[in-house]
Structure 1
Amino acid sequence: MSRGVLFVMSGPSGTGKGTICNELLANENNDVFLSVSSTTREKRKGETDGVTYNYTTVENFKKMIDNGEMLEYAMYSGNYYGTPKKTVEDMLDGGKNVLLEIEPQGALKVKKLFEEAVLMFIAPPSMKVLKQRLEDRGRETAEQIEERLEAAKWELSQSTKYDCIFVNDELGECVREVEETMRDKVQKRNLVDKLLAENY
């Protein structure tokens, strides 16, 4: 059995990466499973514990860090976010393709631990469009939106370290491009594993 492929998706807040992930997971043909991240931030309306995030306290999160249970973690907008290591490793070893939706700080840490991980960056068509999307969400104050736009500039500067960059201008087209890339990576991994297993 081939080991699963680890996909890591990042992008500035408001680029639609969460929506893209949901579209990918809703399509059974994609054969990918989401690793649910842990966070210390408050649960928002419409979110589900264990599905959107594993919500926990700062104290518990720090214990997981101290015990070496986190694959990666980062502080973002005053809250901790991180990926439980064992969950990801168990899924990959079981032949499942895993999708992580995490910040660039965490994504680059994961790449150091899993060189074979495929890093995918979701970019907005323009900063003007990104600002409009953040305003349309109606979740943040004007000051918070400015903070996210400043954070987006740094995140975009890290995108050159990713394997693939996708511009989310039209959602359906962007999802299709991501799906094609993921299937291609899985097919190539399976082919390599098959060749290595052959006797000659």
Structure 2
Amino acid sequence: MNAMSGNARVTVARRGLMLVLSSPSGAGKTTLSRRLLQRDRQLSMSVSVTTRTRRPGERDGVDYHFIDPARFQEMVAGDELLEHAKVFDHHYGTPAATVEEKLRAGSDILFDIDWQGTQQLRARAREDLVSIFILPPSQKDLEHRLYARAQDSAEIVARRMAKAADEMSHWAEYDYVAINDDVDACLEEVHSILRAERLRRNRRTGLVEFVKGLREI
């Protein structure tokens, strides 16, 4: 803890948090994640392992750690993953050691994962978790976004739309819900949640020392 004169703020040590954004494919969580990372330099993206192949423009170790199915199963068996899930025939997971190291250092980590992964994070690290579910304004808008990004075939889009209803049924399991009818407004809501959650008493591990110092004056 440091206290400085002038206009500088008092800095109180805190434990980092895990911020989860979940949504059906096409509802905008990837765009929101990217813009939130650009706006808030205290936040970094969790880099998951995955068994799927790289898409154009993706970089190994930056977007994902691309591994084969055998290595993925080794990580599951060795309890090396904080969460893992199978999505559209591919496996995804979060390396536990890296996350814990960042949380102890007071760093915040952003997760772009589905409801299955969020349930696992909640079971293992509820106090560190802040979860937000992003809803589209309508099914028509969701379908339009999926076609507009031109990454998947018509068959895949149809599969994602069919799965969207099931994904959205888990909205009530999240701490917060935001409707992405306007990306700027939705981004502001998400960032407000993050700023408020950083101030929770239980996360601010340096408060005991800080208050002790105040009482000794």
What is the TM-score with the length of structure 1 in the denominator? Answer: 0.94
1:191 CA drift (Å): 7.5
2:158 paired residue number: 146
Aligned position for 1:49:
60
Extract unaligned runs of 5+ from structure 1: none
Q: Indicate the residue corresponding to 1:10 in structure 2.
A: 22
Identity, % of aligned pairs?
37
Residue by residue over 1:112-170, the C-alpha shift from the partner in whole angstroms, topping out at 9 and shown as x without a partner, is 11112111111111111000110111222222111101211111000100001111111
Aligned to 2:85: 74
| 1:121-132 mapped onto 2 (5 Å cutoff) | 121-132=133-144
In structure 2, what residue type is equivalent to 1:188? R
For residues 7-26 of structure 1, what are the alpha-carbon distances to aligned partners after superposition, in whole Å with 9 as ceiling and x for unaligned?
11111111111111111111
Match of 2:186 among 150, 174, 177: 174
Q: Using the alignment, how far apart are the partners of 2:186 and 2:166 within structure 1?
A: 22
Q: CA RMSD in A?
A: 1.6
Counterpart-to-counterpart distance in 1, 2:21 and 2:78: 26
Number of aligned positions between the proteins: 199
Matches of 1:47 and 1:64 in 2, distance apart? Answer: 22
* Distance (Å, rounded) in 1 between the aligned partners of 2:124 and 2:203: 23
Take 2:156 and 2:171, find their aligned partners in 1: how far apart are those partners?
A: 22
1:192 CA displacement:
5.2
User: Could you say what secondary structure the match of 2:199 adopts?
Assistant: helix
**Distance in 2 of aligned mates of 1:102 and 1:85:** 15
Query: What TM-score results when the alignment is normalised by the length of structure 2?
Result: 0.87
Residue 51 of structure 1, CA deviation: 1.3
Which has the larger Rg?
A: 2
Q: Give 5+ residue unaligned stretches, structure 2.
A: 1-12
Q: Does 1:26 align with 2:28?
A: no
